[in-house]
């Protein structure tokens, strides 16, 4: 599984009414099967920590079809796409990756691609248990393996038992070899999109250095300034402000349209990229965001409705009743899961 997750995901996804997957070079498109659905993604390569930038259009479902991403919930047969935009409610789950090998060694990690520790694996699995009754239609991760491992391990605990599949579009062979030729299999899959824009902020010349030794060398105040200020970057690295520019832009351009169309989204990423997104969701100031701390492996739940994000906290356990009482839709989803699985 680790080898598969080491591949960074870039590419294009198109869902049409025909059978099979169509992959195309040039504008980079991939076709999957389900009827009445279409997702179009194009990408152009960019710079820092970059494996590709993907452009998503809104997923649309024909009124007579049940969602390929989650047949437990389907749009009203009488609703138009515009009415769905106004009335649809979607869940947004944010998860900071579990402990990595460099977290354990107290090293600055940034965009260096290191995996999870055993504790990190356990944190990811526990996170999965906490969201096991919340619908997930699409998954976005950074291009780094610790975030991708967290997403994959979390989904092994989901009661829906759909399979998260990283969408590969590195070259023509990768596109052709990753085709799926079964409609039923596609319906039981969740697309996983990896994007460098969700990477941890790049720590420049601090990457790989021990945090305590760095504080001893440059002084605690200077290192604290590099780590916790909003607009002061470490040497040849990114400030939180710079990280927020790319992470929030990607969220607004690529993820928010999916939520607007009613898709339930999970994002597995990093402390600083998620702090940036939360700054946007909660309308925090630059002073408020620098004091925001995120625990590893603890999911945060938001409800997106009528263009607004409402924070609903973090589920304590898969049986935590309060989480599913927040909205009727989440309660209905869990009830249908109970009916399907028992």
Domain ranges of the chain: 6-61, 79-341
pTM of the model: 0.74
Residue 97, annotated as binding a ligand: yes
97 catalytic? Reply is yes
| 109 labeled part of a ligand binding site | yes
Expressed in percent and rounded to 5, the helix, strand and coil fractions of the chain are 40, 20, 45
Indicate the DSSP class of residue 201.
P
Has 320 been labeled as part of a binding site? no
Contact in structure between 41 and 29 (CB atoms under 8 Å): yes
Determine the pLDDT at residue 199: 98
Length of the chain: 342
**Model confidence at 32: pLDDT above 90:** no
Distance between first and last Cα of the chain: 30
Domain 79-341 grouped into CATH 3.40.50.1240: yes
For residue range 54-86, list pLDDT tens digits in order: 433 333 332 222 233 344 444 334 444 444 444
Provide the 8-state DSSP code for 200. Answer: P
Identify the CA nearest to 206 among candidates 188, 233, 187, 169.
233
- The values of phi and psi at residue 176, to 5°, are -70, -45
**Rounded Cα gap, residues 244 and 68, in angstroms:** 32
Alpha-carbon gap, residue 79 to 283, rounded angstroms:
31
Can you give the pLDDT at residue 183?
92
103 is in an annotated binding site: yes
Note if 200 is an active site residue. Answer: yes
The band of 316, judged by pLDDT with boundaries at 50, 70 and 90, is low
Residue identified by tokens 């989901």 is: 158
Under a CB-based contact definition with an 8 Å cutoff, are residues 88 and 258 in contact?
A: no
| Three-class DSSP category at 326 | coil
Task: Confirm or deny that 264 is annotated as ligand binding.
Answer: no
Long-range contacts of 224-230 (CB under 8 A, 24+ apart): 228/290, 229/290, 230/286, 230/287, 230/289, 230/290
Q: How far apart are CA 7 and CA 3, in angstroms?
A: 7
Q: Give the mean pLDDT of the chain.
A: 79
CB 263 within 8 A of CB 89: no
Which residue in this structure is represented by tokens 């605690």? 220
Catalytic member of 53, 123, 168, 200 = 200
Element (H, E) at 42: strand 41-44
156 is in an annotated binding site: no
Closest CA to 101 of 93, 86, 112: 112
* 31 annotated as ligand-binding: no
Of residues 53, 97, 158, 270, which has the active-site annotation? 97
Q: Which of 45-59, 99-113, 258-272, 312-326 has the lowest mean pLDDT?
A: 45-59
Q: What angle do CA 23, 29, 30 make, to 5 degrees?
A: 50
Q: 212-262, pLDDT tens digit by residue?
A: 999 999 999 999 999 989 999 999 999 999 999 999 999 999 999 999 999
């Amino acid at each position: 599984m680790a080898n598969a997750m080491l591949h960074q995901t870039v590419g294009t996804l198109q869902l049409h009414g025909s059978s099979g997957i169509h992959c195309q070079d040039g504008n980079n498109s991939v076709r999957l099967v389900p009827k009445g659905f279409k997702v179009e993604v194009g990408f152009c390569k960019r710079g820092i920590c970059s494996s590709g930038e993907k452009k998503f259009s809104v997923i649309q479902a024909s009124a007579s079809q049940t969602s390929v991403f989650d047949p437990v919930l389907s749009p009203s047969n009488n609703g138009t796409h515009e009415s769905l935009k106004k009335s649809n409610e979607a869940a947004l789950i944010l998860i900071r990756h579990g402990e990595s090998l460099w977290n354990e060694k107290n090293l600055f990690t940034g965009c260096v691609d290191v995996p999870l520790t055993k504790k990190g694996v356990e944190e990811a699995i526990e996170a999965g248990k906490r969201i096991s009754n919340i619908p997930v239609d699409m998954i976005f991760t950074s291009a780094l393996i610790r975030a991708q491992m967290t997403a994959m391990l979390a989904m092994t605990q989901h009661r829906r038992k759909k399979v998260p599949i990283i969408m590969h579009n590195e070259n023509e062979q990768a596109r052709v070899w990753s085709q799926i030729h079964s409609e039923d299999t596609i319906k039981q899959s969740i697309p996983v999109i990896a994007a460098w824009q969700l990477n941890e902020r790049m720590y420049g010349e601090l990457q790989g250095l021990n945090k305590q030794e760095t504080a001893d060398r440059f002084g605690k105040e200077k290192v604290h300034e590099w780590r916790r200020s909003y607009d002061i970057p470490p040497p040849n690295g990114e400030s939180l402000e710079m990280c927020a520019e790319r992470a929030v832009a990607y969220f607004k351009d690529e993820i928010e349209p999916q939520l607007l169309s009613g898709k339930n989204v999970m994002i597995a990423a990093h402390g600083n990229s998620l702090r940036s997104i939360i700054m946007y969701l909660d309308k925090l100031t630059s002073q408020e965001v620098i004091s925001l701390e995120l625990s590893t492996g603890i999911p945060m739940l938001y409800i997106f409705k009528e263009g607004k994000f409402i924070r609903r906290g973090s589920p304590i356990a898969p049986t935590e009743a309060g989480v599913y009482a927040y909205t009727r839709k989440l309660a209905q989803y869990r009830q249908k899961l109970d009916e399907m699985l028992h």
